[in-house]
C-alpha cells in the first residue's frame, strides 16, 4: 500500500494546561484558530487516563508504540539522540560531568557548567573496556553527555550513580533485580576508572588555570536498554522524518526508525528558529510520508510556571511556523505530548488538545484548539497510541482488520 | 434473570461518513430524527480507536465478542451464512467457480456469472474425501459458494488458491506457519480433483451448448476456522434472532448463536424489502429477547462513492422500516458497523453514530443521528463490544460485577 499523501505531525511539548484560562485558550493565534475550525478535534490521554507521561513515554505513544509494552528506560533515547549507534541489549545513560572534593563529595553537579575542556574529557573516557564490556561516551551540551555499555548479559534494572544533589558522594549502582548484577558492576567499574582518568587529565589542569572547578567526576542516571523494534516504515507503512532540536525527541524518533533531518537553528529552546523548522519540513516532505516536528519551549515555560512565556511561544508557532505549512500537507496534526501545567510546574495527567486536519474530516464546530472547546470534539478522548493510526487512515495505508 | 422487555438492534452497514455534510446529516429522516431526540447518542469505535474494521470483525464486536480475541478468518462466517453446519476445528472458505483455459490460466474469475448448471457443478464437488478429511461445498449466488474442510489437524493459517485476477493460474495454497501444512495440502488436493471433475461434467457440456464459458475451475479465498463459542443466550442472557439478507451477516449471527429468521425479499442489496424485514422483526419478537436487523445497501453505496444513493437508502429505512418498529420494542438501537466514506470508497476508522432508545435513557439534546451532533452525546465514544452490554442493561439482564 502506498500512502496517498503527505502528513505533518506537529507536537508542541507540554502544550496542555490547567485552569479556566490557559495559554492555548488566551493565545492570539489566528492561523491555528482557522485550522481548528476546519479540523476534527479532541483530547489525548497520551499514555492512558490519569497517567502522568514522561517526555519519552509520551512520544513513544504518539509514534504508535505503546510505552507499557516498549518503554525500558530513558538512556537509550538520549544516546540515540546524541547520535550514537546502539546494538540490541546495550544499556545507556545520561551523564553529567561534576566536581568532587578530596573526599569524593559532589560540590558542583555541573562542574561549573562552563564547558572548557568538557569535550576532551568526555573523549578521554570513550572506549573504555570493563570486564568483557565496552563503554562509549559522547559529549552533548554543557556538562552533559550520554554513555553506552555494550556486552553480553547487561540489564537496565540498576540504580543511578548520580545522587541528584550536592553534599553526597557518587552512589554505587545497585542491581534492582538479580539480572542487573553485572550491569551494576560494569557501571561502578566504569565510574571508578573514569574518575581516575579525569582527576589528572590535562584538560582539568587548564580548567584550574582558568579558575574553573575541575570536572573530576561523572554521574550517570536514567538507565535504559536498547531493544530493536519493528520500524515505523514496516509497522505503519510510513516513511517518517523527525525535525527537532532536543536530543531526547530525536532519540525516540530514531528508536522507532525515523530519519533525523536537522534544521538550522533548531535548538530545543525558546530561541529556536521556527521558520527554519517549517522550511525543513517542506524541503524534505517529498522524501517521506510523514514529517514529525517537535517544538520544545512550550514545555520549558510550563516547568518555569511562565504562563505568558508559554502563550508567547504558542503565538510564535502561529506566526512563524504554521503559515508556511498550512495547505502544504494532506494531513496536518497539531497537538502536545502531555500537559505541563504552569500552576503545578510539572507534567500532569490532564489530557492534551489535538486537531487533525484532512480535506474530508468531519469539522466539529470547534473554533480554537484549546482545552475547553475540544472536549466535545469529533475525536473524543483518545489514547496517544491511536493518533498515528488516524494519520494512517487518512493516508490510506491502514490495514483493515477482518474483511 | 429474565429480560424485562424486547430489544431491536438495527445496523445500517457502513452508515458513518466523512466530511462536513454526510448522508446522515443531510437525510430527510423525520422518524429517525424524532427517535434521536428521545434517545441517548454517541459514536462507536467498533473495534478500537483508529482501527479500520472489516464487516466480519465489526459485527463480532457489535455482538459483544471482541474480535481481537475471537476473529479467526472470514470463511467460517460465509459457510455458516450459506446454511452449512460446522464442527469445531473445520476450516472454511469462500469459493468462486471460474473459467480456465487449456493451460490452466484463469480467463474469467466468475465463469461468465450466468449460473446455468452452477448448482449442479457445486453439487458434484460436495462430499469429496481428501486424505482423512471430508470436503463439503455449497452453492450460494451466481458463481459463488462456500467450502468446508473437516478432519483432524486443520488450521486456517494457509494461503488462498484464488489469485484475485485473470491471466494467472490457480495458486497452490501455502501454509503460513507449520500448523497450516496439512490444511494447505488438503485444499490443494481438493482443488486438483475438483478441476478434474468439473472439466468433463455434463453441466459444462450444457454451458458449452448455450455458448457460455465452462466453469472448469474453483478458486478459494478467506480461510477461517470455526471455533465453537459460548452462545449469546448464555453469554449475555439474551435469546437473539437475526433478520438479514447478506450471507456474511447471517453467518456471524449464527456463529454467536443467533437464530436466522428469513424475511421475504431481504436480499442484502438496494432492492431489499425493508417493510418485510420490519414485519419479520415484529412477527418473531415474542420468541426472542433481541432481534438484530441488518441493512446492507448503505455500505454498498459508500463503496461506490454514491452519496445520494447512500442518503436515499437511509431515507428509505426512515420511511419503510422505522415507522413499523418504533414504539414496538422496549429498547431500540440504531447504528452502523463502521464508516464507509463516499469520498474514500472504503471502510475507514472514523467512528460511527449510534442511538439508544429506552423509555428511561437520558436524552442528550441531539436532534438528529448524524456524525456532528452525536459527538457530544450522552454515550460518548464507546467501543463496539460495549453496545450489547448497554442493551443488556436496559433489559435488566446485566450481571453486576462485584456486589
Residue B274 and residue B244 in contact, taking contact as beta carbons nearer than 8 Å: no
| CB contact B382 to A (< 8 Å) | no
Helix/strand/coil for A263: coil
CB atoms A398 and B51 under 8 Å:
yes
CB atoms A383 and B49 under 8 Å:
yes
| CB contact B55 to A (< 8 Å) | yes
Q: What would the mean pLDDT of B317-344 be, rounded to a whole number?
A: 98
Q: What confidence score (pLDDT) does residue A113 get?
A: 87
Cα–chain-centroid distance for residue B310?
Answer: 18
Enclosing H/E stretch for A297: helix A297-303
Residue written as grid cell 424475511: B263
User: CB atoms < 10 A from the CB of B395, how many?
Assistant: 23
| From B50, B54, B350, residue closest to A402, measured CB to CB | B54
Residue A158 and residue A175 in contact, taking contact as beta carbons nearer than 8 Å: yes
| From A362, A377, A401, residue closest to B20, measured CB to CB | A362
Q: What would the mean pLDDT of A158-184 be, rounded to a whole number?
A: 96
Exposed / middle / buried, residue A310 (Cβ in 10 Å: 0-12, 13-18, 19+): buried
- Cite the beta strand spans of A20-132 per DSSP E: 40-45, 91-100, 106-108, 128-130
Distance CA A366, CA A354 (A): 11
Residue B392 and residue B67 in contact, taking contact as beta carbons nearer than 8 Å: no
User: Least CA distance to A380: which residue of chain B?
Assistant: B381
CB atoms B51 and A396 under 8 Å:
no
| CB contact A5 to B (< 8 Å) | no
Q: What is the dihedral of CA A373, A378, A382, A384, to 10 degrees?
A: -80
| CB contact A401 to B (< 8 Å) | yes
CB atoms B56 and A383 under 8 Å:
no
| CB contact B341 to A (< 8 Å) | yes
Q: What confidence score (pLDDT) does residue A158 get?
A: 97
User: Least CA distance to A392: which residue of chain B?
Assistant: B50
Residue written as grid cell 490443494: B188
pLDDT of A374 > 90? The answer is: yes
Give B56's contacts in chain A (Cβ within 8 Å): 402-403
CB atoms A390 and B347 under 8 Å:
no
Sign of the dihedral defined by the CA atoms of residues A226, A229, A231, A236, in that order: negative
Predicted confidence (pLDDT) per residue in A113-145, tens digit:
889 999 999 999 999 999 999 999 999 988 999
| CB contact A3 to B (< 8 Å) | no
Which domains does chain A possess? 7-71+229-394 (3.40.720.10), 78-225 (no CATH)
Q: What would the mean pLDDT of A314-325 be, rounded to a whole number?
A: 98
Distance CA B101, CA B5 (A): 59
User: Least CA distance to B341: which residue of chain A?
Assistant: A360
Predicted confidence (pLDDT) per residue in B252-271, tens digit:
999 999 999 999 999 989 99
Q: What would the mean pLDDT of B351-368 be, rounded to a whole number?
A: 97
CB atoms A402 and B349 under 8 Å:
no
Q: What confidence score (pLDDT) does residue B129 get?
A: 97
DSSP-derived secondary structure letter, A385 = G
Q: What confidence score (pLDDT) does residue B338 get?
A: 98
**C-alpha cell read off for A4:** 496517498
Enclosing H/E stretch for A243: strand A240-243
What HEC string does chain B produce?
CCCCCCEEEEEECCEECCCCCCHHHHCCCHHHHHHHHCCEEEEEECCCCCCCECHHHHHHHHCCCCHHHHCCCCHHHHHHHCCCCCCCCCEEEEEEEEEECCCCEEEECCCCCCCCCHHHHHHHHCCEEECCEEEEEEECCCCEEEEEEECCCCCCCECCCCCCCCCCECCCCCECCHHHHHHHHHHHHHHHHHHHHHHCCHHHHHHHHCCCCCCCEEEEEEEEECCCCCCHHHHCCCCEEEECCCHHHHHHHHHCCCEECCCCCCCCCCCCCHHHHHHHHHHHHHHCCEEEEEECHHHHHHHCCCHHHHHHHHHHHHHHHHHHHCCCCCEEEEECCCEEECCCCEEECCCEEEEEECCCCCCCCCCCCCHHHHCCCCCEEEEHHHHHHHHHHHCCCCCCCCC
DSSP-derived secondary structure letter, A260 = E
Give B344's contacts in chain A (Cβ within 8 Å): 360, 396
CA distances, B23 to each of A87, B225, B376, B385 (Å) = 53, 36, 19, 25
pLDDT of B292 > 90? The answer is: yes
CA distances, A191 to each of A194, A198, A253, B46, B95 (Å) = 5, 10, 29, 53, 68
Q: What is the dihedral of CA B67, B272, B35, B365, to 10 degrees?
A: 60
Banded model confidence at residue A85, pLDDT cuts 50, 70, 90: very high
CB atoms A401 and B54 under 8 Å:
yes
Give A402's contacts in chain B (Cβ within 8 Å): 47, 53-58, 60, 67, 71, 74
Give A46's contacts in chain B (Cβ within 8 Å): none
Looking at the DSSP assignment, which residues form a beta bridge with residue A92?
A148, A224
So what's the ipTM on this one?
A: 0.91
CB atoms B18 and A402 under 8 Å:
no
Predicted confidence (pLDDT) per residue in B70-119, tens digit:
999 999 999 999 999 999 999 999 999 999 999 999 999 999 989 999 99
| From A363, A365, A386, residue closest to B50, measured CB to CB | A386
Q: What confidence score (pLDDT) does residue B31 get?
A: 98
User: Least CA distance to A373: which residue of chain B?
Assistant: B376
User: Least CA distance to B379: which residue of chain A?
Assistant: A380
Cα–chain-centroid distance for residue B250?
Answer: 6
**C-alpha cell read off for B73:** 478468518
CB atoms B50 and A363 under 8 Å:
no
User: Least CA distance to B20: which residue of chain A?
Assistant: A362
Give A364's contacts in chain B (Cβ within 8 Å): 372, 375
Q: What confidence score (pLDDT) does residue A1 get?
A: 81
User: CB atoms < 10 A from the CB of B104, how many?
Assistant: 12
pLDDT of A369 > 90? The answer is: yes
CA distances, B112 to each of A107, B109, B115, B222, B400 (Å) = 88, 8, 8, 22, 56
Distance CA A327, CA A329 (A): 6
The per-residue DSSP string of A122-178 comes to HHHHTTEEETTEEEEEEE-STTEEEEEEESTT--S-B--S--SSTTSBPPPP-BSSG
Which A-chain residues 82-111 have CB contacts (< 8 A) with chain B? Answer: none
Q: How many CA atoms lie within 13 A of A263 on its CB side?
A: 30
CB atoms B344 and A362 under 8 Å:
no
What does the radius of gyration of chain A's CA atoms come to, in whole angstroms?
A: 22
Which pairing describes strands A106-108 and A91-100: parallel, antiparallel, or unpaired? antiparallel
Banded model confidence at residue A335, pLDDT cuts 50, 70, 90: very high
Distance CA B262, CA B250 (A): 10
Give B222's contacts in chain A (Cβ within 8 Å): 403
Predicted confidence (pLDDT) per residue in A17-42, tens digit:
999 999 999 999 999 999 999 999 99
Residue A31 and residue A326 in contact, taking contact as beta carbons nearer than 8 Å: yes
pLDDT of B176 > 90? The answer is: yes
Interface A–B counts its CB contacts (< 8 A) at 91
**Residue B289, C-beta contacts closer than 8 angstroms, at least 6 positions apart:** B3, B6, B7, B237, B238, B239, B240, B395, B397
Query: Terminus-to-terminus CA distance in chain A, angstroms?
Result: 16
**Residue B102, C-beta contacts closer than 8 angstroms, at least 6 positions apart:** none
Q: What confidence score (pLDDT) does residue B113 get?
A: 87
Q: What confidence score (pLDDT) does residue B1 get?
A: 80
CB atoms A362 and B49 under 8 Å:
no
| CB contact B369 to A (< 8 Å) | no
Give B47's contacts in chain A (Cβ within 8 Å): 401-402
Phi, psi angle pair for A78, to nearest 5°: -65, -45
Average pLDDT, chain A: 96
Distance CA B158, CA B364 (A): 49
Residue A315 and residue A297 in contact, taking contact as beta carbons nearer than 8 Å: no
Cα angle vertex B146, ends B142, B147, to 5°?
Answer: 140
| CB contact B220 to A (< 8 Å) | no
| CB contact B21 to A (< 8 Å) | no
**Mutate which of B16, B302, B350, B371 to test chain A, going by most A C-beta atoms within 10 A?**
B350
Give B49's contacts in chain A (Cβ within 8 Å): 382-383, 386, 389-390
CB atoms B372 and A388 under 8 Å:
no
What's the predicted TM-score (pTM) here? 0.93
CB atoms A380 and B341 under 8 Å:
no
| CB contact A372 to B (< 8 Å) | no
Residue A39 and residue A24 in contact, taking contact as beta carbons nearer than 8 Å: no
| CB contact B327 to A (< 8 Å) | no
| CB contact B22 to A (< 8 Å) | yes
Amino acid at each position: 500500500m502506498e500512502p496517498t499523501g503527505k502528513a505533518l505531525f506537529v507536537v508542541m511539548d507540554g502544550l496542555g494546561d490547567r485552569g479556566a484560562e490557559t495559554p492555548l485558550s488566551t493565545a492570539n493565534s489566528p492561523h491555528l484558530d482557522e485550522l481548528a475550525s476546519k479540523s476534527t478535534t479532541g483530547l489525548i490521554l497520551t499514555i492512558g487516563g490519569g497517567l502522568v507521561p514522561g517526555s519519552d513515554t509520551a512520544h513513544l505513544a504518539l509514534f504508535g508504540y505503546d510505552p507499557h509494552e516498549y518503554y525500558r528506560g530513558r538512556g537509550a533515547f538520549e544516546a540515540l539522540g546524541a547520535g550514537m549507534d546502539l546494538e540490541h541489549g546495550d544499556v545507556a545513560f545520561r551523564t553529567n560531568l561534576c566536581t568532587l572534593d578530596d573526599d569524593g563529595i559532589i560540590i558542583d553537579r555541573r562542574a561549573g557548567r562552563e564547558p572548557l575542556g568538557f569535550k576532551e574529557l568526555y573523549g578521554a573516557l570513550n572506549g573504555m573496556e570493563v570486564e568483557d564490556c565496552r563503554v562509549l561516551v559522547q559529549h552533548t551540551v554543557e556538562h552533559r553527555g550520554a554513555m553506552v555499555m555494550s556486552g553480553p548479559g547487561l540489564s537496565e534494572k540498576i540504580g543511578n550513580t548520580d545522587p541528584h544533589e550536592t553534599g553526597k558522594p557518587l552512589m554505587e549502582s545497585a542491581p534492582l533485580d538479580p539480572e542487573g548484577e553485572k550491569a551494576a558492576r560494569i557501571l561502578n567499574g566504569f565510574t571508578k576508572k573514569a574518575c581516575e582518568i579525569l582527576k589528572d587529565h590535562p584538560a582539568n589542569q587548564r580548567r584550574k588555570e582558568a579558575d574553573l572547578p575541575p570536572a573530576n567526576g561523572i554521574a550517570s542516571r536514567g538507565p535504559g536498554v536498547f531493544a530493536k523494534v519493528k520500524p515505523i516504515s514496516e509497522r505503519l507503512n510510513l516513511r517518517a522524518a523527525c525535525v527537532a532540536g532536543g536530543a531526547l525527541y530525536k532519540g525516540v524518533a530514531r528508536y522507532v526508525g525515523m530519519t533525523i533531518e536537522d534544521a538550522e537553528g533548531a535548538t530545543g529552546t525558546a530561541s529556536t528558529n521556527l521558520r527554519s523548522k517549517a522550511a525543513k519540513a517542506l524541503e524534505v516532505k517529498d522524501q517521506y510520508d510523514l514529517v514529525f516536528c517537535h517544538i520544545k519551549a512550550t514545555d520549558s515555560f510550563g516547568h518555569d510556571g511562565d504562563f505568558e512565556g508559554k502563550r508567547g511561544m504558542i503565538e510564535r508557532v502561529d506566526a512563524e511556523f504554521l503559515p508556511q505549512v498550512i495547505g502544504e500537507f494532506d494531513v496536518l496534526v497539531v497537538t502536545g505530548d502531555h500537559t505541563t501545567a504552569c500552576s503545578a510546574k510539572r507534567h500532569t495527567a490532564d489530557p492534551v488538545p489535538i486537531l487533525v486536519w484532512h480535506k474530508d474530516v468531519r469539522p466539529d464546530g470547534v473554533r480554537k484548539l484549546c482545552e475547553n472547546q475540544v472536549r466535545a470534539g469529533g475525536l473524543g478522548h483518545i489514547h496517544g497510541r491511536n493518533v498515528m493510526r488516524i494519520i494512517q487512515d487518512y493516508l490510506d495505508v491502514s490495514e483493515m482488520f477482518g474483511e
